[in-house]
Structure 1
Amino acid sequence: MKFFAHLNTAVQVLTGYKGQQPFGIFIKDFFKQDKKYGSRDRKSISHLCYCYFRLGKVLPDMPVEERIVVGLFLCSSAPNEMLGQLKPEWNAAAALSVEEKCSMLNALPIAIGTVLNIFPWKEALSGGLDHAAFCNSFLVQPHLFLRIRPGKQAVVQQKLEAAGILSTRLNESCIALPNASKVDEVIRLNKEAVIQDYSSQRVGEFLLPSKSGIAVWDCCAASGGKSILAWDVLGPLDLTVSDVRESIIANLKKRFAEAGINKYKSFVADLSDPRSFLPVEIRPDLIIADVPCSGSGTWSRTPEQLYYFDIAAIQRYSSLQKKIVHRVWEKLNPGGHLLYITCSVFKAENEEVVNFMQQQFSLQVVKMELLKGYDQQADSMFAALMRKL
């Protein structure tokens, strides 16, 4: 009967959540206020809630309890105790494909329709994305990915094996692990390896080999992951980082210290505001612009964002992105490069912004690609390297 109690609690949690903050924070606060739930209870209740969100825009009017169970069925790849208790007649079919499960449900009064309704905005997607595969990816928990830093491959692999943490090597520096892996207890994060999604690691393919010590401005630095990647790919840099909030820069300082990056410049600026101060001395050879975006390529990690997303927000993000690139490109040295990055799958944030830059500025596309991570249980991202003429 425990799973029915978990189901009732999941309904309570979801009824109280309105999308005002990341769901992971919300449910942690819920459990802090009620100490009766053990770790297994918390894991089970959280899983039921995420199954609800992983349905995206499917069955929006179905009662919460029923929608949770449908989500659990579609997210289960094999029979399991939870589904066996909550819906035993579906448990035997848990190993069927998503399409077969949907056909089975359509024979019932549920009428789920097509799984393509999970992410219904097919016409708004960037080119090259497989809409069906992308929709199916929301029903699967993404992996945790590590990027091993140069020279640390052997020690990281040894530590993971000694701790009994299962891992899959995707390339020389990228490792995929189960999402709940406690890697921070095993390796020295940022010094030996960086937690960084597979597609985010692939951004390194856009960093052209160059002489050591080039001037790089990571203009929307956030946690500094792209700066550390550039440092590892290009060697020591004349590095400048900026972000819109002082707290971001403070956190970045701690992470850089752990990564062994001690020589860099930093400042706070709102790059969407043309009046915001920029230091005169900034003359970069490379600008990394990992701009604010919808985050739609990462929603399999935070499916509540898909559930609550309003398509009208895309144009607001696109406008913000154009303001940022308009502000930064003029600082770029002639012949220098601007690397434009989003974790979005919407063309209005990707190809359309690149087209805007080509039309408005003296920039030429060197390489542009939608980095599809859904076939690796990873995020999807967009990157375009542009050269100033």
Structure 2
Amino acid sequence: MTPGARIQAAIECLDAIAGGAAAEQVLTGWARRSRFAGSKDRAAVRDHVFGVLRRWRSCAALGGGETGRALMLGALRQDDEAPESLFSGQGHAPAPLTPEELALGRPPAEGAEALDMPDWLWPRLGDDAAQTAAALRHRAGVHLRVNLIKADVDWAIESLKHSGITAVSHPASPTALEVVEGARALRNAPAYTDGLVELQDAASQAVVDRLNLRAGMRVLDLCAGGGGKTLAIAARCPEAQVFAHDIAPQRLNDLQPRAERAGAHVSVIATDKLAAAAPFDLVLCDVPCSGSGSWRRAPEGKWRLDAAALDRLRATQADILRQAMNFTTEGGTVAYATCSVLAEENSLLVQSVLSESSGWLMVDQAHWPVTQGTDGFYTAHLCRA
């Protein structure tokens, strides 16, 4: 595909996303219909689409609208690329720009528009709004967790090097690596296929690092999702009994094969068996949230979220935290976590639940801002007084 043809493909995908379709589904559908597109073409189209999704408002301002053509025009202007050479109408490129299109566009207004944040969310980002929003406009790094059951950091780095992948330690966690070259080769690298490393954000690993794990303790990952933190717990403390649960059990379908690959031992508990399996010494509840800390990876969430949805999420988070408290032994710990940068889902939510829960204290909390090279994460540890 020519550079112009890639722009046209991105325009079509952006029009579908603007109409309400999910970005991943749109890109997957385009790739299946476009057998002529090679891996580099698919990667380039994806980069165009996600580049606009991270910077939707500023691209719309610069391009003079929210159609796919206007958004890509705005993105090219923002990146100091000449749009006329790509909107040529040649080789499946988009049709040439009209005089009206060329006349449209303006610099984005300072603040939420220029930094690509919805107006209603801007004040909720707090004192670091500008820095947080600016960080979320850029691509996230590729982070790996070294599986301590099978390797140490040096061994993992050396193994990745043999596959043409350069990785360096990340300061957020002793087990975290950041891939700085060769990320596209990761899926077929023996270090990955043999379970020496797992894809996991460095701050997500740091949440597990903060847990006080001990041999023999019973640990429940209550909202396990795909099981990334479950496996990290099992690798950090193989002598613990580690259990995983998710209200949507299909999310855990790949957990046992991943655990076998990693050499980890975990047990999955169905929802109807959860109460009987309690109590646990430690309950981790990485609750459903806005995902605002990971909007670099899933930027359309920034534009789909609204205040009503955030309120519903907060109600769910509070319910899950109360449930986790009920599943914990006397003297046990509940570790609450989100991948959110919003205080309403983090410290304010925890304080609200604590205010109605006698006998519980917050004994630890921490957050990892997106400005420090990780996803945005928050965690708080609650113990019975």
Question: Does TM-score exceed 0.5, indicating one fold?
Answer: yes
Aligned to 2:329: 333
Q: Secondary structure at the match of 2:46?
A: helix
Q: Distance in 2 between matches of 1:42 and 1:337?
A: 46
- State the match for 1:268 in structure 2: 270
Which of the residues 354, 363, 366 maps onto 2:360?
363
Q: Structure 2 length normalisation: TM-score?
A: 0.83
- Unmatched runs of 5 consecutive residues or more in structure 1: 88-107, 270-275
Match of 1:212 among 215, 221, 237: 215
Offset, 1:292: 0.9
Tell me how far apart the structure 2 counterparts of residues 84 and 385 of structure 1 sit (CA, whole Å).
55
- Note the 1:154-169 alignment, pairs <5 A: 154-169=154-169
Q: Counterparts in 2 of 1:1-389, with a 5 A limit?
A: 2-18=2-18, 22-58=22-58, 59=60, 61-74=65-78, 76=79, 85-86=85-86, 109-114=105-110, 116-117=112-113, 118-119=116-117, 120=119, 121-125=121-125, 130-150=128-148, 151-171=151-171, 172-178=174-180, 180-186=183-189, 187-189=191-193, 191-208=195-212, 210-262=213-265, 264-269=266-271, 278-361=274-357, 362-376=359-373, 378-389=374-385
Question: Displacement, 1:295?
Answer: 0.9
Aligned length: 355
CA RMSD in angstroms comes to 2.7
The CA distance in 2 between the partners of 1:32 and 1:341, in whole Å, is 37
Question: What is the alpha-carbon distance in structure 2 between the residues aligned to residue 14 and residue 109 of structure 1?
Answer: 18
1:20 positional shift? 5.4
Residue by residue, what CA displacement relative to the aligned partner does 1:20-64 show, whole Å, maximum 9, x if unpaired? 564133212112113232333323222222222111444374443
Please name the residue that 1:94 is paired with.
none
Change (3 A) 1:35 1:232: closer
Q: Quick check: 1:19–1:308 contact (8 Å CA) kept in 2?
A: no
Whether contact under 8 Å (2:339, 2:377) holds in the other structure is yes
Conservation of the 8 A alpha-carbon contact between 1:152 and 1:193: no
Structure 1 contact 144–176 (Cα < 8 Å) conserved: yes
Q: Classify the secondary structure of the residue corresponding to 1:240.
A: strand
Residue of structure 2 in register with 1:273 after alignment: none
Pair 1:233–1:40, CA change in 2 (3 A): closer
SS of equivalent to 2:342:
coil
Q: Distance in 1 between matches of 2:46 and 2:183?
A: 13
AA aligned opposite 1:144: V
- Asked if the contact 2:369–2:377 (Cα under 8 Å) also holds between the matched residues in 1, the reply is yes
Residues 238-259 of structure 1, C-alpha deviation per residue, up to 9 Å, x if partnerless? 2222111232233212222222
Q: Which amino acid aligns with 1:197?
A: D
How many angstroms apart in 2 are the aligned matches of 1:190 and 1:360?
A: 47
CA distance in 2, matches of 1:365, 1:30: 48
Q: CA deviation at 1:298?
A: 0.6
Q: Residue 43 and residue 266 in structure 1: after superposition, are their counterparts in 2 closer, same or farther (change >3 A)?
A: closer
Could you tell which deviates more after superposition, 327-336 or 366-375?
366-375
The question of whether the paired residues in 1 share the 8 Å contact of 2:146 and 2:196 is answered with: yes
Contact 2:214 2:239 in 1 (8 A): no
Higher mean Cα deviation, 189-198 or 211-220?
189-198
Offset of 1:181 from its aligned partner?
A: 3.1
CA separation in 1, counterparts of 2:36 and 2:49? 18
Query: Which amino acid letter does the alignment assign opposite residue 278 of structure 1?
Result: L
